[in-house]
Homo-oligomer: A and B are copies of this chain.
């Protein structure tokens, strides 16, 4: 069944993914604007929560962002009391990153916003269809070698 119709379907799927991906990212950014966070900020909070004590280099690698960008992001989040930089006594070059209690609270709000965002985005589907869609997208993501939960493209790499 790898006929011309299927080829067009595949192309249409790719187009829809690009279109919806842009839409989803823009809507999410809009939604966390009220928290005065950008998607990049949210990515930092999430990753520091998952890997407490990680260095800024590790963070840059996982986010796909430049170290210099990470400095600015962490500066901002630290200034607002959401993350802490702790010197590592064993290697004083490293900054171990941790969420403060306020940071944890903010992350809960981000997660809540993400759920509302997801519900709004997929409101045209019933729960069964939503589950099916998650499955199909997960298969593609795994096949394409995308890291689960890591950097949706907040980074502008461009090589």
Please report A residues at the B interface, Cβ cutoff 8 Å. Answer: 1-2, 6-25, 28, 111, 114-115, 117-119, 121-125, 127, 129-134, 136-144, 146, 149, 151-153
Chain B CB within 10 Å, residue with most, of A2, A17, A24: A17
How far is it, in angstroms, between the C-alpha of A11 and the C-alpha of B114 when the chains are bound?
6
| List of 3 A-B pairs having minimum Cβ-Cβ separation, nearest first | A21-B21, A22-B153, A10-B118
How far is it, in angstroms, between the C-alpha of A146 and the C-alpha of B13 when the chains are bound?
14
Instruction: Flag if B23 contacts A130 (CB, 8 Å).
Output: no
How many copies of the polypeptide does the oligomer hold? 2
CB-CB under 8 A for A19 and B146, given A2-B127, A9-B134: yes
CB-CB under 8 A for A137 and B1, given A9-B130, A10-B118, A11-B114: no
How far is it, in angstroms, between the C-alpha of A114 and the C-alpha of B14 when the chains are bound?
8
The residues of B that contact A1 with a CB separation of less than 8 Å are 127
How far is it, in angstroms, between the C-alpha of A34 and the C-alpha of B156 when the chains are bound?
21
The residues of B that contact A22 with a CB separation of less than 8 Å are 21, 25, 152-153
How far is it, in angstroms, between the C-alpha of A16 and the C-alpha of B117 when the chains are bound?
13
Q: Which residue of B lies closest to A20 (CB)?
A: B17
Closest Cβ of chain B to A5, distance in Å, is 9
